[in-house]
Structure formats: C-alpha cells, structure tokens
Amino acid sequence: MMLRTSASRVLDDNDRDEVLAILDTDPVANVFVASRVRSVGLNPARLGGQMWGFGPRGAMTSLCYAGANLVPVNAGREAVLAFADRARRQGRRCSSIVGPREAVEPLWELLEPHWGPARAVRWAQPVMTISGAPRVPPDPYVRRVRPEEFDILLPACVAMFTEEVGISPDTGDGGALYRTRVAELIRIGRSYARIDNGKVIFKAEIGAVTPQACQIQGVWVHPEHRGKGHAAAGMSALVIQALGCFAPLVTLYVNDFNAPARAVYRKVGFEEVGTFTSVLF
C-alpha cells in the first residue's frame, strides 16, 4: 500500500510561466525538460506526455515530466510521494526514470514493487559542465552532419545506443521513432560528426537546448579508432560549436563506471557538478 500524500495535478499551458520559473532554478539538471517546455509548451499532445505539478497554482514547488522518460524536477520527499502515487495508478508508460539521484532513488523505491524489476539501474551518473574554452585542440574535421548523410550516420547512432543502453533502438517499433529523432537532429543542425571516406569516426549530438545550457548526448567513437585521441579532440570541437551557437554552458552526464569517457571529459575541461540516476526498463 503506497502512502498517499497531497495530490499532484496535470499541468497545461496556463502553468507555463510558473513551470519555467521552477525549471530555471537549476538550468543544468533541468535542461532536458526545460528544452521540451520551451519548444512545445505543456499541452500533452505536443509535449509527448504530461507534466505533473506538486503544490497549488502560484505556489508550486516541484514537477515531474511523464513521457517516454519519467523525470522528477526539484522533488522533495512529499513531491516524490505524490508523483509515485500518480505513476503507480497510471501504470508504467515510460522506458526510463532519470534525473537527480536524490529524487530518482526514493521514487524508484516506491515504484519498484509495482513496476519492477528494472532491466538496469545506473545508480551514479556524474553530471558534468563546461563554460569556457576546452583544454584540448579541437578536431578540425568535426562538423555538422548534412541531411544527405543520414544513412552514413544512422548505423553509428544505432551502435552507440545499443552499446550505451544495452538494447537496440530497433526494438518495439522497428526503430521508426529513433530514426525520426536522428533525422530531426540532423535537420536542425544539432548532429555533429567526423566522417572520413563515408565512415563515421566520431559523432555526438546536442540533444537539448535552452537559453542557459545545452546538453551533449550520444558520444561515440568507432571501435577501430578508439585510443587515438578522437574523443577528446571531437568533444573539444563540439564544445566550441555548442558555446558559440547554442548556449553559454555545455553539460552532459555519464555512467560512473565509464572511466575512459570520464577521463576524456575531464581532459577537455568538464567538471562534475552533480549526480543523476537512471532506471531502465
């Protein structure tokens, strides 16, 4: 029996200003959700899910994005209880729970008896940021991917996803949604790669953008070219592009057990500023 507490409610576009005020209190941790809200608002049909609020209108304290991911925002214990209760009653519709460790861990503790078991839990994922010039010379061949290069980039994206998440993005719908997202990031100029003779050497995307921050995702180096400096030089090039074109601060999060990646990011100049937890289904 889950402890009931003050109820959460489903928000709409009338709540947009208050929602953004909450999101802007931590532009790094909230960059994904803030990017979604700034782009499409709070109408569930456009948002791709619901936004739940905790606290009365005009005095809201916490949020939870409930779409393909379940993402708590500024959620203390009472808010976590309310969001867990709504999530339990609604049933699992997400492929992951992700966000600050201090909120995700108690949220999963409440949901695991109803939603478990998870396929994997990544308990500690350092959140890292950089806002100044990278410390590594950039790779001059890292550039925006062009729309006609979709078929070249897609296999690298699939390989990265499978390696990182543990399952292929082709699972379920045959990969249609994933291919659409890859194409969209190319179209809006947020997909970057080094492509030599039709082969992707390094690639990464800028997955979320707000006026305060942007988030790098999908970093990948071809296995045959690892250990040759491509990751550091490629990330350096991407950081320069991101700071120049998108936001004054660049962020990402990485698995704590991925020592090579963490070493690369530190070498480039990223610093750890927090910790995420991800529960994968």
Q: Span 49-60, mean pLDDT? A: 94
Q: Is residue 1 part of a domain?
A: no
Q: Span 126-139, mean pLDDT? A: 98
Q: Establish how many alpha carbons lie within 13 A of residue 134's alpha carbon, considering only the half-sphere containing its beta carbon.
A: 25
Asked if 32 and 93 sit in the same domain, the reply is: yes
Asked if 188 and 95 sit in the same domain, the reply is: no
Q: Quick one: pLDDT at residue 33?
A: 98
For 130-164, b/e burial (b = at least 16 CB within 10 A) is beeebebebbeebeebeeebbebbbebbbbbbeeb
The whole-chain average pLDDT of the chain stands at 95
* 3-class SS of residue 253: strand
Asked if 147 and 265 sit in the same domain, the reply is: yes
pLDDT digits over 211-236, tens only?
A: 999 999 999 999 999 999 999 999 99
Q: Quick one: pLDDT at residue 269?
A: 98
Percent of the chain with pLDDT over 70: 98
Q: Quick one: pLDDT at residue 171?
A: 79
Q: How confident is the model at residue 175 (pLDDT cuts 50, 70, 90)?
A: confident
Percent of the chain with pLDDT over 90: 92
Give the length of the chain.
281
Q: What is the CATH number of the domain that holds 253?
A: 3.40.630.30
Q: Is residue 259 part of a domain?
A: yes
Q: Span 179-190, mean pLDDT? A: 97
CA nearest neighbour of 51 among 83, 10, 8: 10
For 1-16, b/e burial (b = at least 16 CB within 10 A) is eeeebeebbebbeebb
Question: CA-CA distance, 48 to 36, in Å (whole number)?
Answer: 9
Q: Is residue 73 part of a domain?
A: yes
Is pLDDT of 82 > 50? yes
Asked if 156 and 107 sit in the same domain, the reply is: no
Asked if 204 and 107 sit in the same domain, the reply is: no
Q: Quick one: pLDDT at residue 231?
A: 98
Q: H or E segment at 190?
A: none
Q: Is residue 245 part of a domain?
A: yes
Asked if 152 and 256 sit in the same domain, the reply is: yes
Residue 254 domain boundaries? 143-275
Q: Is residue 260 part of a domain?
A: yes
Asked if 165 and 211 sit in the same domain, the reply is: yes
Asked if 108 and 157 sit in the same domain, the reply is: no
